[in-house]
Structure formats: structure tokens, C-alpha cells
Amino acid sequence: MQRKIIEFANLLRKSGLRVSVAEAIDAFQALEELSIDDREVFRDALRASLVKRGDDVPTYDQLFDLYWSGFHDNLKGAFEAAAGALADDGIDMEQLLQKIREMLESGQVPEGEVDLSDLARALLTGDLSELEQMIRAAATQAGVARIENMLQIGFFGRRTLEAMNAEGATRELRDLAARLRAVGMGDAEAEAIGRLAERFFEALRQSVRSFMERELQTRNFEYMEKFRREALFEKSFYSLTEDEIARMREVVNRLAQRIKNVMSIRRRRRKKGKLDLHTMLRRNMARGGMPFELVFKEKRKDRPKLVILCDVSSSVANVSRFMLQFVYSLQECFTKIRSFVFVAELGEVTQVFHDHEVGKAIEEALEGGGVINVYTRSNFGMAFHTFWRDFLSAVDAKTTVLVLGDARNNYNDPKAWCLRDLHNKAKNVIWLNPESPSAWGFGDSVMDKYLPYTTLAEECRNLRQLSRIVDKLVL
């Protein structure tokens, strides 16, 4: 069992869950306290010790089914089928096995003459758990880890049977029949043992085959999961399916969480200011200057103010989407956030975020938030000009301005001077562009015109880049 749990923990790990050795040991201890016949309890006990994040539960459930529920049942099925086939031939398998065991135990066969292998013994005692262990071990020995496709099932299956010496065990059983006949077993029964050996071999073959099939499934699953997780980070924002958007949203939340943790550690460290002697003396005056009450200086936190200008035209919508999600998940890291959306017209959507929960607000903002028309062609010049005219007063020396857009201006006037004025007033102007710098300034891109008025301009085409930028922004 211990080995199985370690193996299962490995499997979880390969699929991207974090499972430590200590937790695998916990799982093992947990199972010692419970009857593991109750599948539900078994599953919950393992989960409580191995899986510590809500997000990971679906993966766990799938892998649990794949790993635990299946194979034992397969094995049982195969041996029940063997019993059934024997019954068709008029042989009662249980009775026969009983008889063999009795004769062996009674010592009628001289000691040393029956030197049965572990496999043969397990077959004779019908010890399915033992058989399961043997098949697992043999499969590992046969290199099942390298199995990649259906066509290899036969090959690895044969090697597994060889590794556990299934044929040898069959032969042993036949030999045993001869020996038992020599000490008085009836011909019919001895012959039945021959049949039994055949059926057992067949059952083993079947079981090994289903083991291979499961193995392949698990492999694929692991691979897919890992791939999906990693790919998500590199995946370009330009082409996302609904499902990927949902998954990315989760990832963004988790990243935001991580940043918050780091932030709060930093803040605490900073808050531990020095003793404030002046205030302390004053406050303790009443007690004759005895410092009953200690007073510490509180350090001022310099959280940035943030103004976000989001291009919500379809080419950039996803960058804006995830950036907004980031920023609003990190709300408490900023003194104030104001958000604006634009395509050609520009409008403020800060209120939308007050009225709705973040996910909903973002979707609304991407639709223009009821303040702008999104079904036009991008015009950065016009958008910046509107901002310059109506909202420049929102920007001061503590404000970081974040622009999300591809700067593809459809050959309109870029009005870069608006951004220049903005840059002069603000603390920082950070521009995130989903296009690679090599494309900046070519075709209708006017990124080169805006570049001089940014503190930082970065390519931001996937989650990895985005999260790196957010790190820079808040830390």
C-alpha cells in the first residue's frame, strides 16, 4: 500500500500538484486509521492529506479514478471470468483450489519438491492484492514508463508477462498436477488443474493488457495537464478559446494572490518603525514621564495611484482583460485606481468596477462600459486627446499611467504631444504593447512616436510577460 501511495503521489506531482513526501506519509497514516473498503472515505482521506488547494480537486478526482478505482476491478473481473469459463467446463474453481491447498498443507508432497514461485502461490491463494503488486512491479521492470501509444500495448504487455514469469508459473501449476496425482489426486482433478493453469494465464494476460491501457491513459492525462498548465503562460493573447480565458482568469487570480502575499510581508517589515520619543514622552506625561505606553513611528506607505488606459478593440482586448483583472485583484496595493477604455472615443469605467464584481465589470468594460462605442476603428490620437482635454487633472506626480494598446492608429494623427504632457505630469508612463518591438513603427503602428514619452514600454503578449510586468509595477 505504501508503495502505491507514493506512486500515486508521484502521479499527482507529474500533473502539476504540489505534494510533499511528508504529505504522502500522512496519507499512509490516515489509511491505517480507516477501513479502506469504503471507497468514498478512502478518497476523502487521501484528499485531505494530499490535496490542499481547491483548484486542484478536479484533477485529483480524475487521477484518483484512473489510478485507484480501475485496476483492481479489472483484475477481479479477469479472474471471475476465469472461474466462469472453468465452471462451463464443469470445474468448480474454488473447490479445486481448496483441495490443492489442503493437499499441499497436509505435507503429502515431500517438502522441497514443490518449490512454488511467489506468482504461483498468489494464484493458488487467489490473493489479488499480491497479484496487483506483482503486475505493477513487472510492468515497471518492463519499462512501461516509456509507453506512448496504443500500438505498444502488445509489446509492453508481453515484456511484463515475461518479467513476472507468467509462463513459468503456468508450468509450475502443471507440474504440480503431476505431483499431486502421484500422491493420490484423481485423474479428473489433476487434469482440471491443467485447465486452471491455462485460464489463469489468460486472466493474467487480460489483466496486464488493461493495466497497459490504464497506464497509457494516465500518461496522456499527465501530459495534457502539464502541457495545458505550462502552455497557458506562453499562449498568445491573440487567440484564446473561452475555456482558456476561464483558466487564465484562475491563474491570474493566483498570481495576484502571490503578489499580495509578498506585498504584505514587505509592508509589515516597513511598518515596524522606530520608537517615537517625542510623542511617547508627551503621551506619558501624566505618569510622570514613565514610559507606560510605547509609541512607534508609523512609516508612510507609498502605494501608487494608478490610471489605466485600455485599448478595448478586439486586437488588444485580452491584454486589457487580464491586466484589469490583475489590477483590480490587487486593488488594495494602490491608493486609487481610475480606469478608462478607448477605441477611438475614450470614457471612464471606474464606476463600473464599483457597481459590479470584478469579472462582470471587466466584461462590461470590454464592451465599452456604456460610455464609448467599441465598433469603430482604433484612433489613439483621438483617445489621448480626449483624455488630455477632460482628465489630465486626474494625473499628478504620484500617478502611474498604464497604457494598454498596440498603437495601430489606422493612419490617423497620433497627437503624441498629448502623451508628452501626460508624461510630464505623471510619475511614470508604462506602455504595454502586445506586438513585438520589431513591429513598432511599421505599417500603421505609431508606437515609435509615443515611445519617447513613456518611462517603460514592453511587449506583453502572454501571461508570463504580463505577470512579470505586474511584479515590476507593485513591488
Partner 1 sequence: MFESVEMVQKQLEEQGYICDKRIATVVFLANRLEKPVLVEGPAGVGKTELAKVVAAATGRPLIRLQCYEGLDEAKALYEWEYSKQLLYTQILKEKIGEVMQGTGSLREAAARVGQQDSVFFSEQFIVPRPLMHAITTDEPCALLIDEVDKSDPEFEAFLLEVLSDFQVTVPEIGTFAAKHRPLVFLTSNDAREMSDALKRRCLHLWIDYPDEAAELRILQAKVPGMDQKLAADLVAMMQRLRQLDLKKTPSIAETIDWARALLALNAESLGEQAVRDTMSVILKYEADIRKAQQELSRMMTARAAVTPAAVPTPSAPAATGTPPAPVAPPKKGTLH
* Site for partner 1, rule CB under 8 A: 18, 20, 22-23, 26, 29-30, 33-34, 38, 40-41, 44-45, 47-49, 51-54, 57, 254, 257-258, 260-261, 264-265, 268, 290, 292, 294, 355-357, 359-360
> Minimal distance in Å, beta carbon 294 to partner 1?
8
Q: Which is nearer to partner 1, 87 or 275 (CB)?
A: 275
Task: Report the nearest approach of partner 1 to the CB of residue 77 (Å).
Answer: 27
C-beta of 49: minimal distance to partner 1 in Å?
A: 6
Task: Tell me whether residue 21 or residue 151 sits nearer to partner 1 (CB atom).
Answer: 21
Find the shortest distance in angstroms from Cβ 265 to partner 1.
5
Sign of the CA dihedral running 417, 423, 426, 430: positive
* Pick 254 or 389: Cβ nearer partner 1: 254
- Exposed, middle or buried by CB within 10 Å (0-12, 13-18, 19+), for 142? buried
Shortest distance (Å) from residue 298 CB to partner 1: 12
Give the residue with the Cβ less far from partner 1, 49 or 74.
49
* Nearest CB to partner 1, comparing residues 281 and 294: 294
Of the candidates 130, 195, 203, the one whose C-alpha atom is nearest the C-alpha of residue 161 is 203
Give the pairing type, strands 428-433 and 456-459. parallel
In the complex, least distance from residue 27 CB atom to partner 1, rounded to whole angstroms: 10
Give the nearest distance from C-beta 266 to partner 1 in angstroms. 10
Nearer to partner 1, 88 or 355 (CB): 355
In the complex, minimum distance from the CB of residue 274 to partner 1, in angstroms, rounded to a whole number: 17
Residue among 40 and 88 whose Cβ is closer to partner 1? 40
- Which one, 2 or 141, has the nearer CB to partner 1? 2
